[in-house]
Amino acid sequence: MNLDQYIPVLLFILVGMAVGVLPLLLGYVLGPNRPDEAKNSPYECGFEAFDDARMKFDVRYYLVAILFILFDLEIAFLFPWAVALRDVGVAGFVAVLIFLTILVIGFAYEWAKGALTWE
């Protein structure tokens, strides 16, 4: 095995690391560093911090986030299907109709249960 074949790969890795690290180092070395009380104070939407940062969130927040991820992944599955629609034929079209029907039933169930309403 000839190790000369790995030189371009090693060079690519080194250049990639330099492109990532060099701007950070230049900014740290050349950038101004004048901390004062205002810059070091915590900032929370213009208000002073009034509660613990580790407070509990409402469960509905997580439910909405999970539903967003679920329906976002649905779109991720539909793009390759749409590109290959001619290749998959009628069987692929029927499979996606079943997939979308299940998702619409789930969406209607979540809507009926009130998971999408925020008070």
CATH value at residue 89: 1.20.58.1610
**pLDDT score for 67:** 82
What's the domain count of the chain?
A: 1
> What's the pLDDT band for 13 if we cut at 50, 70, 90?
very high
Banded model confidence at residue 44, pLDDT cuts 50, 70, 90 = low
Average of per-residue pLDDT values in the chain = 84
* Residue 37 belongs to a domain: yes
| Residue 117 in this model has a pLDDT that exceeds 70 | yes
Q: For 64-87, what is each residue's pLDDT tens digit?
A: 788 888 888 888 888 888 888 888
Cβ proximity of 40 and 92 under 8 Å: no
Contacts of 93 (CB under 8 A, 6+ apart): 85
Could you tell me which residue, 30 or 43, shows the higher pLDDT? 30
- Any domain includes 118: no
Do residues 115 and 64 touch, judged by C-beta distance below 8 A? yes
Phi, psi of 116 (to 5 degrees): -100, 0
Q: Which two tokens stand for residue 85?
A: 């629609």
Residue 119 maps to a domain: no
Q: Given pLDDT bands bounded at 50, 70 and 90, which one contains residue 20? A: very high
53 has a pLDDT exceeding 70? no
**Range of the structural domain that residue 32 is part of:** 3-113
What is the C-alpha to C-alpha distance for residues 109 and 18, in angstroms, rounded to an integer?
52
The answer to which of 20-24, 41-45, 67-71, 103-107 has the lowest mean pLDDT is 41-45
Phi, psi dihedral angles at 84 (to 5 degrees): -100, 25
Please provide residue 44's backbone torsions phi and psi, each rounded to the nearest 5 degrees: -135, 85
pLDDT at 88: 87
Cα separation, 52 vs 44, whole angstroms = 12
